[in-house]
Structure 1
Amino acid sequence: MPAKRTALIALLAGALYLVVGVTATDSLLPAGARGGDTTTTARTDTGLVRGTRTATHTVYQGIPYAGPPKGAHRWAAPRPVRPWAGVRDATRPGPLCPQVASAYADVASLEEDCLVLNVTTGASAAARGHAPVLVWIHGDGAVGGGAYFDARRLADRGLVVVTVNYRLGVFGGFSYPGLEGSGTFALQDQQAALRWVRRNAAAFGGDPGNVTVAGSSFGAAAISGHLTSPGARGLFHRAVLASGEGMMDMPAGAMGEGVPAYPHYTWRTGQESRDTGVEMTSSLGCAGPDPRRALRCLRALPVKKVLEVPDIMNAFQAFAYGNEVLPELPEAALGQGRFLRVPLMSGATLDEHRLFVGMAHDAIGSPFTAGQYARALVTAFGRDAETVGARYPVTAFPSPALAWSTVVTDRMWARGTYAQATAFGRRTPTYAYEFADRDAPMYLPLPGAFDFGAYHAGDTPYVFEDPDAQKYFTDAQVRLSDTITDYWAQFARTGTPNRPGLVRWPRFEPGGAVPHTQSLGPDRIGPVDYAGEHRLDFWRRLAGQGTSPAPRPTEGKEQMS
């Protein structure tokens, strides 16, 4: 059950947010409220908003896209915004959705009126009009907010960029008997934001007919859900999934001792989700035989009291399926071709799991030993532990921690990433990548030393402005950042990352002798045998999986079979 996750998961979730976001409150102002700046206005469908204009960018922050999910509207579908008179100030970030601080993410909020978004454009975007729109869904799912992602670099490439707040943790994923929409409120918020974009993009110089949705980690998993959700039809035309978890499972112990296996990392049945809701809220004094009365009680509780339940935010970092928002298990729908046929960019980092192993062991002064490696193999793989250990002998790695992180990277992350690219590539234009900068700056305040390599979400600062990471960039990493951002922008513009001046990036072809994955590193950009690099044939044989490709159906611009 999700409620049984250990405290380690909470620690990792908080630290991961700092990896994919920024680390200082000042950075919430990417281009606004500085000396010499001016203001400008735009007309949305609910009223005028005042943003900040600099010599190079225009930024609007804290624009509401849905009504406050408070009181009786807590754990309900997002509702329309009430129009306002006059001009609404949009020169400062809006409130973060409810979340709790952790040792590595010193951010917290008790404000439920938080369904806001931010719009960043280049200086001439509004005048030019018809710019591609990129909508960013941040990761983690229990902490964070859209304003933490400074989109000026993408806006410099001619995009209108929208970053979104959505309900997090228990407020975004809560389930309970009789609760309509159980386990899907975060997804519903994101779709409401995309509908806002469709109605309002033109007011900011954007083209509502050319929208790319992009996300990392939990945000990318959410996009996997949207690809299979009837409610997302027509809301976006391309998608970028970075370190997505939509087709990933998790072996026992992969996230630490005592953490169980999950056959579907991101998805839960309605019953599993409801059971978690009942279990996690049993101490709040609202239990009883009448679910409607219990829900009224729960909705009346102060946010602070809900957040005081241990691990409650992390228990709901998953989405429920078998409902109107997600009618079926998205992993199955993706694998069988029942998803929106839009061009896709999908990838991961070379060393995904080093972040989690390093944080849990070497980086905090508790080295992962050879004995622990042997026990972890048994926990994860049972009778196959010896076979896995022979394929990944501890003596072949600089440390047991790197041996274990490589095993989990290959078995969990690479296997799921490759399955996703294969499912996509059989049916729609797909561009697979691997972020391969093993010197990507690690700027979390971790004691000790650990080789994090190309760690999970380490590529995010290569697309979004983040001075805490970029102050460590070498000249080669600056060039890599420019190239990755150019690829993203071109993909958002045309549905392919290719244009003159960039290294050619062929489509991922599952039926090819070696399906093409683009390696993105400071010393080399070009093809890599992703399956060979991550020993996926070994894992397929161990799981008894077949390898023959399915026939490619006729491609459509957008369809859901």
Structure 2
Amino acid sequence: MPPGPVRQPRLLALILALGIVVGCTSGAPANPSGPETDPAVVRIDAGALRGVIADDHRLFAGIPYAAPPVGPLRFRSPEPATGWTGERDATRPGPRCVQNPGPDLELGRHTDEDCLTLNIWTPAEVGEKRPVMVWIHGGAFVNGSGNVYDARWLASRGDIVVVTVNYRLGTLGFLAHPSLGADGDVGNYGLGDQQAALRWVRDNISAFGGDPQKVTLAGESAGGMSVCDHLVAPASSGLFRAAIIQSGPCQAQADLQLAQQRSLDYAAGVGCGDPATAADCLRALPTDKLRRPVWFYNIGADDLTGPVTGSAALPTAPLAAFADGTAARVPVLIGSTRDEFTLFVALRYLQQGDRYTAEEYPGLLADTFGPNAGAVADRYPLARYDSPALAYAAAVTDGEFACVGDRMARDLSAHQPVYAYEFNDRQAPTPEPLRTLPFPVGASHSLELRYLFDVGGAPPLSPDQQTLSDQMIDYWSGFVTDGVPASPAGPAWPRFGSDPAGGPYLSLQPDGNRVTTGFADEHQCPFWAGLKD
């Protein structure tokens, strides 16, 4: 794997740190009429659920899709959820899964090991079966929650059903200690949770007005990386018919051998160092002992945990499968933001006081790009940028997000339909702290999400930005509906590879979306492709 930063997108950390408030239980209480006629009540095999009815959508929140992964079920594949009697309250989301305590400003509140729940947003009108989008949240596999994503706009304007999912994070989701399972069958519990949620959707979504034969799997950041994994994971085969990958740099993967060694070291550090008793010891520990994530590797100042390749659940790394054509052959919508890495530069500036001086620039590149640092410095000279922060952010944006995504699009498009985009609103609204920086964040990582979901916490969209939001919802919901992104108010979105000049990409911007062919040159992808691993 090429050297590069591995602090993957931490959406919930950003939301908490910057004061974004999200409500997942919009609307008035449900009409208390009888369950036979009340659209707020849905019956599935597990029991009856009472949700929330609003003018433009229905919401059923906090639905368990798997058994609580506690006690003997900790560090195991998820088991089916048990049923209940009477009506279950589905008006509020369940707790977040246990978070990395560092960025979690709520200090563990509203978190629990018993967290395997999902939320379902549907159009207000109950009628014919709608296509379904299952959304996997970001957060570096150590933070985040499906509860963050208020999907009312996609459900109402897009006329689709949206499912947002919680899954195990950090150590509880990915510890790969060899004593926890058969040879190679360790780690990836969070990935298994996502698969369990997809199976639950297949078996139950029709009761909510969704079509189980028309499921699209989507995610951003770590969620986008998860989608990459499901495109190659054997147990995910057949559970979805299309995929959306937003800002998912899928080159970042831990291999089984390294993950096992780091997990052995982690276990020893929490008092479970004897391999003969480690499994029982780890399953008996208080949750607080396991909040700190297991880090599988470190590059520069950043750490990564998450799914493990070379394992029973994920035998092949996604990029290798994309290149050789062995990934699931489904339509793919894929893209990134124009200025991905400015967010992480900004967070370090705000949280750690990093000022990114000219004197520090060579060291930043060395920490990030190793032996390629000199070539990167020549390609991204400080004189070309307004500040060292923007020079560094541009290099990482291109090398670790844009050009990785372009490579993925090229490889996948040789075998299946691919539609590529770049979110290019460099004036996208941001929370107030990001507007106090000495450099602009532009179209940074995660800022496209508030054009699809109601995540609040920033100034409202301008009229032109609202038009862009409407068109993005049209494109995304059109892709979920029939595998082709289309908006009646926007330009036609051509398939990737259909223009010999490059791409094409759809550049999403409030002054008018446009088809472009210069993405690879603009982000200097030939240069990045020529670097040695």
Q: Same fold (TM over 0.5)?
A: yes
CA contact (8 A) 2:119 2:163 kept: yes
CA drift at 1:543: 3.9
CA contact (8 A) 1:118 1:163 kept: yes
Q: 1:467-525 CA distances to partner (integer Å, 9 max, x unpaired)?
A: 213x3321111111111111001010010012543311100007722220111011231
Structure 2 counterpart of 1:169: 170
Query: Is residue 23 from structure 1 mapped to residue 20 from structure 2 by the alignment?
Result: yes
Counterpart of 1:212 in structure 2: which amino acid? T
CA drift at 1:20: 11
Of 269, 277, 281 in structure 2, the residue corresponding to residue 283 of structure 1 is: 269
CA drift at 1:297: 1.1
CA contact (8 A) 2:27 2:55 kept: no
Q: TM-score with structure 2 length normalisation?
A: 0.90
Structure 2 counterpart of 1:90: 90
CA drift at 1:23: 2.7
CA contact (8 A) 2:15 2:21 kept: no
Does the C-alpha gap of structure 1 residues 20 and 55 become closer, same or farther in structure 2, counting only changes over 3 Å?
Answer: farther
CA contact (8 A) 2:323 2:411 kept: yes
Counterpart of 2:133 in structure 1: which amino acid? L
Structure 1 counterpart of 2:258: 272
Structure 2 counterpart of 1:306: 290
CA contact (8 A) 2:65 2:116 kept: yes
Query: Is residue 541 from structure 1 mapped to residue 524 from structure 2 by the alignment?
Result: no
Counterpart of 1:71 in structure 2: which amino acid? G
Structure 2 counterpart of 1:123: 124
Counterpart of 2:256 in structure 1: which amino acid? G
- Equivalent-residue separation in structure 1 for 2:402 and 2:295 (angstroms): 28
CA drift at 1:15: 6.3
Query: Is residue 524 from structure 1 mapped to residue 512 from structure 2 by the alignment?
Result: yes
CA contact (8 A) 1:172 1:316 kept: no
CA drift at 1:538: 2.1
CA contact (8 A) 2:146 2:164 kept: yes
Counterpart of 1:280 in structure 2: which amino acid? Y
Structure 2 counterpart of 1:65: 65
Q: 1:150-170 CA distances to partner (integer Å, 9 max, x unpaired)?
A: 000000121111110111111
CA contact (8 A) 1:344 1:429 kept: yes
CA contact (8 A) 1:364 1:448 kept: no
Counterpart of 1:24 in structure 2: which amino acid? V
Q: 1:125-154 CA distances to partner (integer Å, 9 max, x unpaired)?
A: xx2121011110000121121121100000
SS state at 2:40 partner: strand
Counterpart of 1:524 in structure 2: which amino acid? G
Of 492, 495, 509 in structure 1, the residue corresponding to residue 497 of structure 2 is: 509
Does the C-alpha gap of structure 1 residues 189 and 440 become closer, same or farther in structure 2, counting only changes over 3 Å?
Answer: same
Counterpart of 2:457 in structure 1: which amino acid? D
Q: 1:205-228 CA distances to partner (integer Å, 9 max, x unpaired)?
A: 111110111100000101100000
Query: Is residue 374 from structure 1 mapped to residue 323 from structure 2 by the alignment?
Result: no
- Equivalent-residue separation in structure 2 for 1:505 and 1:465 (angstroms): 25
Structure 2 counterpart of 1:350: 338
CA contact (8 A) 2:11 2:138 kept: no
Structure 2 counterpart of 1:53: 53
Does the C-alpha gap of structure 1 residues 382 and 138 become closer, same or farther in structure 2, counting only changes over 3 Å?
Answer: closer
CA contact (8 A) 1:22 1:468 kept: yes
- Equivalent-residue separation in structure 1 for 2:370 and 2:78 (angstroms): 45
CA drift at 1:234: 1.2
Does the C-alpha gap of structure 1 residues 385 and 486 become closer, same or farther in structure 2, counting only changes over 3 Å?
Answer: same
Query: Is residue 206 from structure 1 mapped to residue 210 from structure 2 by the alignment?
Result: yes
SS state at 2:179 partner: coil
Counterpart of 2:147 in structure 1: which amino acid? A
Structure 2 counterpart of 1:259: none
Match runs of 1:35-434 below 5 Å: 40-102=40-102, 105-106=105-106, 108=108, 109-124=110-125, 127-140=126-139, 141-156=141-156, 157-180=158-181, 181-246=185-250, 248=251, 265=252, 267-290=253-276, 293-307=277-291, 317-361=305-349, 365-381=353-369, 384-434=372-422
Structure 2 counterpart of 1:555: none
Q: 1:343-376 CA distances to partner (integer Å, 9 max, x unpaired)?
A: 1100000111111122223786442111111333
Structure 1, 200-209 or 267-276: larger mean CA deviation: 267-276
Does the C-alpha gap of structure 1 residues 173 and 444 become closer, same or farther in structure 2, counting only changes over 3 Å?
Answer: farther
CA contact (8 A) 1:422 1:510 kept: no
SS state at 1:458 partner: coil
- Equivalent-residue separation in structure 2 for 1:421 and 1:309 (angstroms): 31
- Equivalent-residue separation in structure 1 for 2:221 and 2:477 (angstroms): 20
CA contact (8 A) 1:14 1:103 kept: no
Unaligned runs of 5+ in 2: none
Structure 1, 60-69 or 365-374: larger mean CA deviation: 365-374
CA contact (8 A) 2:418 2:496 kept: yes
Q: 1:69-112 CA distances to partner (integer Å, 9 max, x unpaired)?
A: 00000010110111222111111111211124445643624521
Does the C-alpha gap of structure 1 residues 466 and 382 become closer, same or farther in structure 2, counting only changes over 3 Å?
Answer: closer
SS state at 2:106 partner: coil
- Equivalent-residue separation in structure 2 for 1:163 and 1:275 (angstroms): 33
Structure 1, 306-315 or 80-89: larger mean CA deviation: 306-315
- Equivalent-residue separation in structure 2 for 1:98 and 1:196 (angstroms): 22
- Equivalent-residue separation in structure 2 for 1:393 and 1:342 (angstroms): 40
- Equivalent-residue separation in structure 1 for 2:121 and 2:402 (angstroms): 33
Structure 1, 496-505 or 451-460: larger mean CA deviation: 496-505
Does the C-alpha gap of structure 1 residues 66 and 104 become closer, same or farther in structure 2, counting only changes over 3 Å?
Answer: closer
- Equivalent-residue separation in structure 1 for 2:493 and 2:83 (angstroms): 45
SS state at 1:296 partner: helix
Structure 1 counterpart of 2:481: 493
Unaligned runs of 5+ in 1: 249-264, 545-561
- Equivalent-residue separation in structure 1 for 2:213 and 2:352 (angstroms): 48
- Equivalent-residue separation in structure 2 for 1:164 and 1:538 (angstroms): 38
CA contact (8 A) 2:173 2:188 kept: yes
Of 462, 465, 478 in structure 2, the residue corresponding to residue 474 of structure 1 is: 462
Structure 1, 502-511 or 206-215: larger mean CA deviation: 502-511
- Equivalent-residue separation in structure 2 for 1:207 and 1:304 (angstroms): 40
CA contact (8 A) 2:244 2:332 kept: yes
Counterpart of 1:276 in structure 2: which amino acid? R
Q: TM-score with structure 1 length normalisation?
A: 0.85
Structure 2 counterpart of 1:450: 439
Query: Is residue 435 from structure 1 mapped to residue 423 from structure 2 by the alignment?
Result: yes
Query: Could you say what the CA RMSD is over the residues aligned between the two structures, in angstroms?
Result: 2.9
CA drift at 1:310: 8.8
Does the C-alpha gap of structure 1 residues 131 and 502 become closer, same or farther in structure 2, counting only changes over 3 Å?
Answer: same
- Equivalent-residue separation in structure 1 for 2:404 and 2:246 (angstroms): 12
SS state at 1:432 partner: strand
- Equivalent-residue separation in structure 2 for 1:352 and 1:373 (angstroms): 19
CA contact (8 A) 1:231 1:325 kept: yes
- Equivalent-residue separation in structure 1 for 2:332 and 2:474 (angstroms): 16
Q: 1:32-70 CA distances to partner (integer Å, 9 max, x unpaired)?
A: 549999872101121111111122211100111000100
